[in-house]
A = this chain, B = another copy of it.
Amino acid sequence: MSRKLLITNATLLSESGSPLLRNQFVQIDDDLISSIASMNEYGGSHDARVVDAGGKLLMPGLINGHNHAAMTLFRGYADDLALQEWLHNHIFPAEAAAINPEMVYWCATLAAAEMIRSGTTCVADAYFHSGEAARAFSDAGLRAVVGHGIVDFPVPSVPDPAKNIETVAHFIDSWQGLSPLISPAVFPHAPYTCSPATLKKAKELADAKGVRLLTHIAETRTEQTQIIDPHGSSPIKHLHALGLLDKNCTCIHCVWADAEDLDLLAERDSAVVTCPQSNAKLASGIAPVQNMLVKGITVGIGTDGCASNNSLDLFREMDMLTKLQKLANADPTSLCGTDVLKCATSSGATAIGLDGLGSIEVGAKADVILVDVSGAHLTPLYNQDFLVYSAAGSDVDSVIVNGRLIMHARHIVSFDVNEAVDRVRSLAVQTGTLR
């Protein structure tokens, strides 16, 4: 017998620019949306659990296309620094001292709490000890694509880089098909930390296992030089030359992508995940997102790790994304609210290789959120653009992932958030990052 959930008195999004649809109900059977109708047609609850939305907006959960969840440990640890100093003198040494399975589990759990409380129902994560991250997301009830990192130097979880592929293969084998929430993936870190041979092996592994490949690419101006000098081509062309660019590839950042690079991404049907706040905080630049959409590239939005953001709230990220596009193009019509919302929902899911997510329709996965739209800061409410320009993560009232209610009335019911907060504070003290 199926598990039924009925959400009554909900408000739904409507056509772009139109008022919202009031007084609707949505039925969920197991993990899928099975019915959407007006409350006039509502015939009672029968055997279903009922959640009265009380006029709140029911919308697709947000998709965080790129995160290093365990980096919550370093949130605010080293701000306002030049990239190389930040990475080499602060983040890398702190990571070397701190990364272990326990740290990844608890710091990813803390990230899950922050993401759920700001309306994220799915994350594409990329880090090390990825089995622990997968376990954290699974325990939290959050959907996740979990990429295991590959770099050419020793890291705490893989002391011998020669064992990279073997380690990641083992991670994939352990998690593939285990949970409906978790999709393991391969994450070769970047072309400046992975040799061409390593990138090719990573791609072969992804193809052999039938999983997604996620990689950082074209993030900074420095990277351009690092790749163009030895390889004679832009970072994105370099990936293409090695055979990485196809529809199973997620290219993270693409800040320094020229028209030819974008044409290549479009032609190869590779997706982009843009991380506007991280790119801004590290002064990396503004990705040409409006141009990507014009060229038909699928674009998702990521927060990146919260050490370079320092927030995992996708509402902030949407607002920043559209405003940066308007500035970069000196055009206030650039990247309208409706397009941004799509990047954070349906396109965002496609960009990390997941289907059937990011929309409210019969047959879609029941990954949905309820947003309280009654606040002073959301009044009056003309159309859905308020989600991009006015709403905040704290307006999210309830979160359902795969048909399961994991937050209700802002209370996370799937795990103990306070335990995660306490554990991460202790870890920060233990590892010496917090005095």
Task: Name A's B-contacting residues (CB within 8 A).
Answer: 19, 72-73, 75-77, 79-83, 86, 110, 113-114, 117-118, 277, 280-283, 285-286, 306, 309-313, 316, 319-320, 322-324, 326-327, 329-334, 336-337, 374-377, 379-383, 385-386, 389-390, 392-394, 417, 420-421, 424-425, 428, 433-435
Number of copies of chain A assembled together: 2
Given contacts A82-B333, A283-B326, contact A377 B313 (CB under 8 A): yes
A324 CB contact (under 8 Å) in B113, B280, B385: B280
Which residues of the partner chain B approach A117 to less than 8 Å between Cβ atoms? 375-377
Quote the shortest CB–CB distance from A118 to chain B (angstroms).
7
A394 CB contact (under 8 Å) in B326, B329, B392, B428: B392
- When C-beta atoms are compared, the residue in chain B nearest to A388 turns out to be B79
A434 CB contact (under 8 Å) in B86, B310, B380, B386: B380
Which residues of the partner chain B approach A316 to less than 8 Å between Cβ atoms? 316, 319, 392
Q: Is A76 a contact of B118 with CB atoms below 8 Å? A: no
Q: Is A376 a contact of B420 with CB atoms below 8 Å? A: yes
27 contacts between A and B (CB under 8 A): A73-B380, A77-B380, A79-B385, A80-B322, A80-B337, A81-B333, A86-B332, A110-B379, A114-B377, A117-B377, A282-B332, A283-B326, A283-B334, A285-B330, A311-B389, A311-B390, A316-B319, A316-B392, A320-B323, A376-B417, A376-B420, A380-B424, A380-B434, A381-B434, A382-B434, A392-B392, A392-B394
Cα-based distance from A389 to B425 in the complex (angstroms): 18
Q: Is A310 a contact of B75 with CB atoms below 8 Å? A: no
A285 CB contact (under 8 Å) in B73, B77, B327: B327
- When C-beta atoms are compared, the residue in chain B nearest to A387 turns out to be B76
Interface centre among A316, A319, A386 (most CB of B within 10 A): A319
Given contacts A83-B332, A310-B389, A394-B392, contact A425 B285 (CB under 8 A): no
Which residues of the partner chain B approach A377 to less than 8 Å between Cβ atoms? 114, 117-118, 311-313, 393
- When C-beta atoms are compared, the residue in chain B nearest to A383 turns out to be B76
Cα-based distance from A243 to B258 in the complex (angstroms): 48
